[in-house]
Amino acid sequence: MKRNPVTPYILIFILGIVLVFFLSIKGLNDSKEIAKGKKGGGANTEQQASAKFDPEGVAKSTCASCHGQNLEGNIGPNLHGIGKKLSLAEIKNIVVNGKGNMPKGIVQPENADAMAKYVMSLK
């Protein structure tokens, strides 16, 4: 009894086609559910917007890589006492738009005021 060596490959091919067909139908149904979730996702967005911005946490996680662990200067300048050199508006502009080697967009414009006040409070 000799079996045809191509038969297993044909069966695997047919199984693959059937799987692709059924998974694509499932994906279409899931995409409709995801679209419904995005329409009703306003509550989640409001929760994120109402979450309090933590300037100290941002400074430790983002700014410390250039300004040093204690923001006393490393690659970037020392931020302690910077309020004596720059105004609040200038600091807000720098945190949003960047300056020199500092990239823009580190802090979103709606959080720039809180971040600038935190930087000014560093003594």
pLDDT of res. 51: 64
Query: How many other C-beta atoms can be found within 10 angstroms of the C-beta atom of residue 116?
Result: 25
CA distance 64 to 113: 19
3-state helix, strand, coil in the chain (%, to 5): 65, 0, 35
SS3 87: coil
User: Would you call 80 exposed, middle or buried from its count of C-beta atoms within 10 A (0-12, 13-18, 19+)?
Assistant: middle
pLDDT of res. 12: 95
Cα angle vertex 12, ends 11, 14, to 5°? 65
pLDDT of res. 20: 95
Amino acid at 89: A
Query: What's the pTM?
Result: 0.57
CA distance 49 to 16: 45
Q: What is the mean pLDDT of each run of 10 residues along the chain (123 residues)?
A: 85 96 87 72 48 84 87 88 89 89 87 90 87
